[in-house]
A and B are shown apart, each in its own frame.
Chain A
Amino acid sequence: MLQHFGKYLLFMSSLFTRSESPRIIFNRTIDEAILIGINSIVIVAIVSTFIGAVTCVQVSYNLNNAFIPRSTIGFMVREMTILELAPTITSIVLAGKVGSSIAGGLGTMQITEQVDALEVMGINSASYLVLPKVIASLLMFPLLVILAMFLSIAGGYIAGTVSGALTAQEYISGIREDFIAYNIIFALIKSVVFAFLISTISSFRGYYTSGGALEVGAASTTAVTNGVIAVLIADFVCAQLLL
């Protein structure tokens, strides 16, 4: 395991040696940002809306005490969404979607000698292929998390009001109660950390694939599982350090 970690660190350092021109990296980053960010909007929207809705319904189910105001449901949906559900669940979903895509794409390029073709041309293949993906992830993940926060709270609103668990007034009162701006900053910091971990781990797994189609599939699966585990560990570390 230590050997893998060392190889991962060497891989990270190789992204920054003999890098291509900023214009090339910029153009590639835009392409990757579309693939990673724009193409993930639908899945993030669906997941986060339903996460918010389910959270609202389940908190309402547990809130039986008449002395606790119903606006607490809105408060709890907001807190859970911003602190945990939006950054972490969104990142886990993206670890599956984006992580497997990155690992599979790079793995296929590796086994079909496309990576070798880049190296023979004198191009640092790791920098050319991976650095734009990492930068694009660092830019897109926070934006997707912001979208997820908004849609989760909106999902909670729809679920709460349609089911009759609370009124619109109570929900909005709850989500405005005792708002701490730092929680949003914390969530965005987590999203950046998760973006780095998912993009680099997936790229590392894909780049070092060898063999055939079976190995590409295995690399893709390993990238997702490693990414998810890394996200959960980082989630705990961030919470301990920043809260």
Chain B
Amino acid sequence: MGNDNEIIDNIANKEYEFGFVTDIEMDIAPAGLNDDTVRYISEKKGEPEWLLSWRLKGFQSFQKQKLPEWQNFDLPTIDFQKISYYAAPKSKKKYDSLDQVDPELLATFAKLGIPLSEQKTLAGVAVDVVFDSVSVTTTYKEKLNELGIIFCSFGEAVKKHPGLVEKYLGSVVPHSDNIFAALNAAAFSDGSFVYIPKGVRCPMELSTYFRINTENTGQFERTLIIADEGSYVSYLEGCTAPMRDENQLHAAVVELIALENAEIKYSTVQNWYPGDKEGRGGIYNFVTKRGICKGANSKISWTQVETGSAITWKYPSVILQGDNSTGEFYSVAVTRNRQIADTGTKMYHIGRNTRSRIISKGISAGKGHNSYRGLVQIGSKADEARNFTQCDSLLIGDQCGAHTFPYIESRNNTATVEHEATTSKIGEDQIFYLNQRGIDSEKAVALIINGYAREVLNQLPMEFAVEAQKLLSITLEGSVG
């Protein structure tokens, strides 16, 4: 047992591996949010009038809303007036090639192990890099252009494709949806925009690396992905952030729209700074992610591997409006030290013969707390709707917690809803068994964890799956229960 505790302590003492700060000149708005800040951001970005007025409406909703009280953790006090709502690297000009990019910035990416340039070409990934809030470089644009695919920063989309943005912005997550979505609507800085034209299958994984870098800068990304009829796209989002003592708020919004016969696959690997072992610092990851299967036979699939952040609070959801549409949610959430995750999904079955599948794998170590919270709602017209939910919890050590809050609301008696849940512990027996075959304890834990999460990791694109697997092993290095 002594050995056990030692190893559990190790995990608690492990410092965040990606904690470093890049020294680049920044253009920062004064802290606080009011009408003027909203105007400042909009003006900085040279936005049209309609967008400014949408932002202002968002700000009004934000002022009217209160922080939720239903979550299964103590929400720390957030002083919204102490946050700076805009930060952009000062060097304003756009880059044509990587050579022109600030070498410090490139060094940061190198430290993170992000192969930005040629390696990505080989891997077939186009990267839209968001450094703090403004897009620095977008690769592969030309190749995508040939197919009519639009993959650019949100700011660029506002300028070049205002019709599409105006039509779909806020159509899935309205500016009044919740307090954080409202905050995002008012203050969103930049983000990504994707449009896949009719019948086009996007030939590569679209990928964005987010990075929060400036102290006290809330980052409010906005992602909008539209898959037109019969199209397909797989989108990857991966994040790491440098170490900070001040808590940083991240309130992103992601909207997905799948039209008839279209499919969107959205994968996330989130590894933001989780805070130190006493729970100081760390990112608040309060994200609103929602997709709508608007057309018949469409499909939206969320996959997430959440290992970072002090608090992860998000429910990537799908509105199954089109008949025969499918929604999926695959999640691995890891909490250790004093990390908290309250995550899950909502599946709104509206159309007939709609299907949803939820696979959630929580892993808690140290004093971490992990909650699955999910809603499966079957509307009165959703004949023959089907849902399958599986919630597994894995505990490492005896000071962590796992909680499951499944909600089911059915207004249609032809629907089938299934829910399965398990809780297990990594036993010292398992570790010893692997030890006895020559495998040390750290590798043993990695093997067990990856086995446990395999069903979810399998959903990730190959390259990402390997990264995620590594991340899980690093995150839980030395943890034995």
- Is B a genuine binding partner of A? no
Q: Which residues of A contact B (CB under 8 A)?
A: none
